[in-house]
Amino acid sequence: MIRFDQVTKQYARTARPALNAVDLEILRGEFVFLVGASGSGKSSFLRLILREERPNRGQIHVLGQDLQSLPSRKVPYFRRNLGVVFQDFRLLPNKTVAENVAFTLQVIGKSRGFIQEAVPDVLQMVGLGNKSERLPHELSGGEQQRVAIARAIVNKPQLLLADEPTGNLDPATSQGIMNLLERINANGTTVVMATHAADLVDQMQRRVVELSAGDIVRDERGGGYQTQAVPIQAPADAEPVARRRDLRETGAVTIPSTPVTAATDLPSAPESLRTGQQPASAPAATERPASAAQPASAAQPGDDDRDPRGFDKPIRSTRFDKGDRA
């Protein structure tokens, strides 16, 4: 699904690489958290997957495609297989919820009939079936993020990238978004999420890849957020989760990575998302007013000319609370 081989990314006029000879493989169906301090390289990793940036050294394969040999003219087609969600939602402010989602399909040439079926289906899935005619500013922050997620998944991408998707949301609303991402993953979409939300990572107990100054310092299945200090030899499974976390909080030990290689351990990819079948469970109704959230005005009038999913904006998003949350 995603493979990085000895990937180094160093931006111009910087003293050290943002990513330093990174080797990483992410398999189909995984849910992977990218964690690490501000500036550790998480967004750079996502931008490389999107082919927004190119590495200085190493090879990147995404969905079987060698990104180095991918001609620029084919990049938009490649990206149709990827969904992207950002911290600041990036909705088109002058379009309704339904139009925001439909626009993604229009620009890739989907038929009117397809769009008329797909948009209500996906809005239902994210719990916004009854708000399709609202404008983004008439929604809470959590609802706006649900629209952004609907837009990201409406074309049934194999891979969903999320860069701090809960960074502007309160804890209860963040939980609702996580439930939604978990459901999308259960429906077969691989999810890679960069985050500083320690509580969510701890609670989900999914694969955690930790970056520090461009190096992968931890790759742990069923991991928590806490950064590691000194490796020890005990197997990760030897301690119950709560005990492991206690130990980490004392700073006394570090839990070694559990190898993440066995494809057979991964959830299979059910057909439901691909067939448009509705999931059994409804999303949690925990949305709060948008007061804490940044307005969805990161996208400006006239944005209709741009990639509706925000690819032509830098993936880096507003960072007023980054670092504080770690």
Assess 43 for contact with ligand ATP (CB under 6 A): yes
Q: Which stretch binds ligand ATP (CB under 6 A): 66-74, 101-109, 139-147, 315-323?
A: 315-323
- Strand stretches in the chain, DSSP E: 2-9, 19-26, 31-35, 57-62, 65-66, 82-86, 159-163, 190-194, 207-212, 215-220
Report the SS3 class of residue 89. Answer: coil
Assess 320 for contact with ligand ATP (CB under 6 A): no
Binding mask 276-305 for ligand ATP (x = CB under 6 A): ------------------------------
- CA separation for the pair 142, 288 (Å, rounded): 7
Question: How many chain residues bind ligand ATP (CB under 6 A)?
Answer: 14
Binding mask 44-73 for ligand ATP (x = CB under 6 A): x-----------------------------
* Footprint on residues 9-28 left by ligand ATP (CB under 6 A): 11, 14, 18
Task: Among 1, 22, 32, 42, indicate the residue that binds ligand ATP (CB under 6 A).
Answer: 42
129-147: burial string, b at 16+ Cβ within 10 Å, e else: eebbebbbeebbbbbbbbb
Task: Among 20, 40, 173, 185, indicate the residue that binds ligand ATP (CB under 6 A).
Answer: 40
286-318: burial string, b at 16+ Cβ within 10 Å, e else: ebbebeebbebebbeeebeebebbbbebebebe
Q: In the bound complex, what is the minimum distance in angstroms from residue 14's beta carbon to ligand ATP? A: 5
Assess 325 for contact with ligand ATP (CB under 6 A): no
Q: In the bound complex, what is the minimum distance in angstroms from residue 198's beta carbon to ligand ATP? A: 13
For 264, which DSSP code?
A: G
